[in-house]
A = this chain, B = another copy of it.
Amino acid sequence: MLKKYRTLWLTADEPSLLEIVDQRYLPHEIRTQVLKNVSDTAAALRDMQVRGAPLIGVAAAFGMYLAALENPSDAFLHQSACELKASRPTAVNLAWAVDLQLEHLLPLKPDQRIQAALNYAIKLGDDDVEQCRRIGEHGLQIIQEIEKNKNKLEPMLEPINIMTHCNAGWLACLDWGTATSPMYHAHESGLNIHVWVSETRPRNQGASLTAWELSEAKVPHTVVPDNACGHLMQKGLVDLVIVGSDRSTASGDVCNKIGTYLKALAAKANNIPFYAALPSSTIDWTMDDGLKEIPIEQRDAKEVTHIQGLVGSELKEVQLTPKASPVKNFGFDVTPRDLVTGIITERGVCQASREGLAALFPEDAIEEETLHE
C-alpha cells in the first residue's frame, strides 16, 4: 500500500539528508529525491517537487535544519530563510514555518542550533498530522449532517457528492490532508461518499494527485475538467464543496489554487455549501482584504503551453499551444468571504469572518484597530 509513504522523511542511516516524493511524476511514477542542503530545498519548493500549503511549511522547516547543518551562523540562517521564502511567494505557511524556526534558533548558541532545528521541524510535522486529523473530525460532522438530510428514508441510499479542487490531500501535507481529511474520515466511518475531482489546470494536481490518492484509498471518485464544475452543481450532482487554502485573511477571505473562486461562485448560485479546510497556520492574521492584499504568484508559461503524460510506459512532455501565442499563468485566486459557508480548522468549524476566526483563535487574532494603525 502506497499510503505507507510519507511525503518527506530523513534518510534512515543518514539524518543529514532529507528525502521527498518528487510529486511531479505522480500518478505515473513514484520517484523520490534526496535534498542535501537549503538550496536543494528551495529548488524543490519552487519547482513544486513538494507542494501543498502545509507540506511547504514543514519542508521549509526541514530546509532550515539543513541550513543549520551547513552553517549555523546568524548570517547564514537569515540568508537561508530569505532563499526559502522567495521560492513560493503566495503560501503563507512557508514564511510562517521559516520565521518560527528563526525565532526559535537565533537565541540559541550556534552549536545547539542543529539539534534544535531538527527537533522543531519534527514537531511542526507532528503538529501538522494532528491538525489534519482534527480537521477531518470536524469536517466529518458536516458530511454526517448532509447524509441525515439527504437520505431521510433510507440511510446512505444516495451517495454524498463532494467536490474538491486541486490537491489538498495527504500529498499536500504529511498525512490525512486538509480538504480530503473529512472525506477520508467519512469513508472510514462507512459513509457512502463520492468525490468529484476537478482536474485543476494547468498543473492538473486534481487529476494526477487527488485522483491517485483517492484511488489508492478506494474512495469512489470521478475526475472532471474544471469547466464541468458549474454544470454538475446546476444539475444537483454536488452536495458540498471542500477546498484547501494557501493563505486566508483574518477576515475570512480564502486564497487557494486558481479556479477556486469560480467554484465558489457556482456553489453560491446553486445553494451548495462551500467550505475551506485549513490549519490555522494558513491564516494571515495581518491581512484583511484578500483580493487587494494577497500577492498572487505568476508562474512559468510552460505550465500552460506544455503538459506531461504517459506514452506507453514513458513520461513525455507535449506542447499544446501555438508557438506564437503568449500565455499568462496565475497560480491562485481569492474567494471573498461572502462566498464561503464556513472554515474548517483544527479547532472546529467557524464562519468565514473576523469574528468567527477570532473566536476560535483568540490568541492569534489581532484587533482590527491595531491592524490598521
Instruction: Report which A residues bind B (CB closer than 8 A).
Output: 27-28, 197, 199-202, 204, 207-208, 211-212, 214-215, 221-232, 234, 257-259, 261-262, 265-266, 269, 291, 296, 304-311, 316-322, 324-330, 332-334
Interface residues of A, dominant DSSP: mixed
Known: A308-B318, A310-B319. A224 touches B262 (CB 8 A): no
Contact at A259–B215, with CB atoms within 8 Å?
Answer: no
Contact at B327–A222, with CB atoms within 8 Å?
Answer: yes
8 nearest A-B residue pairs (beta carbon): A309-B318, A227-B259, A27-B322, A231-B333, A211-B325, A230-B261, A201-B225, A310-B319
- For A232, what are the chain B residues with a Cβ–Cβ distance below 8 Å? 330
Contact at B296–A307, with CB atoms within 8 Å?
Answer: no
Q: How far is the CA of A3 from the CA of B307 in the complex (A)?
A: 29
Residue of B nearest to A324 (CB): B215
Contact at B223–A304, with CB atoms within 8 Å?
Answer: yes
Contact at B325–A215, with CB atoms within 8 Å?
Answer: yes
- For A334, what are the chain B residues with a Cβ–Cβ distance below 8 Å? 231, 234
Q: How far is the CA of A258 from the CA of B262 in the complex (A)?
A: 13
Q: How far is the CA of A234 from the CA of B260 in the complex (A)?
A: 13
Contact at A208–B311, with CB atoms within 8 Å?
Answer: no
- For A28, what are the chain B residues with a Cβ–Cβ distance below 8 Å? 319
Known: A266-B265, A317-B311. A330 touches B230 (CB 8 A): no
Q: How far is the CA of A266 from the CA of B296 in the complex (A)?
A: 18
- Quote the shortest CB–CB distance from A256 to chain B (angstroms): 11
Contact at B262–A321, with CB atoms within 8 Å?
Answer: no
This chain: how many copies in the complex? Answer: 2
Contact at A262–B229, with CB atoms within 8 Å?
Answer: yes
Contact at B304–A310, with CB atoms within 8 Å?
Answer: no
**Among B225, B304, B321, which residue has its beta carbon within 8 angstroms of that of A259?**
B225
- For A310, what are the chain B residues with a Cβ–Cβ distance below 8 Å? 318-319
Contact at A230–B333, with CB atoms within 8 Å?
Answer: yes
- Quote the shortest CB–CB distance from A65 to chain B (angstroms): 33
Contact at B27–A223, with CB atoms within 8 Å?
Answer: no
Contact at B309–A215, with CB atoms within 8 Å?
Answer: no
- Among A27, A208, A211, A226, max chain B CB count under 10 A is at A226
Contact at A333–B234, with CB atoms within 8 Å?
Answer: yes
- A and B contact pairs by CB, cutoff 8 A, 22 listed: A28-B319, A200-B227, A207-B321, A211-B321, A211-B322, A212-B322, A214-B325, A222-B325, A223-B326, A225-B304, A227-B257, A227-B333, A228-B329, A228-B333, A231-B330, A231-B332, A231-B334, A234-B261, A309-B320, A310-B318, A316-B316, A318-B318
Q: How far is the CA of A197 from the CA of B204 in the complex (A)?
A: 19
- For A307, what are the chain B residues with a Cβ–Cβ distance below 8 Å? 307, 309, 318, 320
- For A330, what are the chain B residues with a Cβ–Cβ distance below 8 Å? 224, 228, 231-232
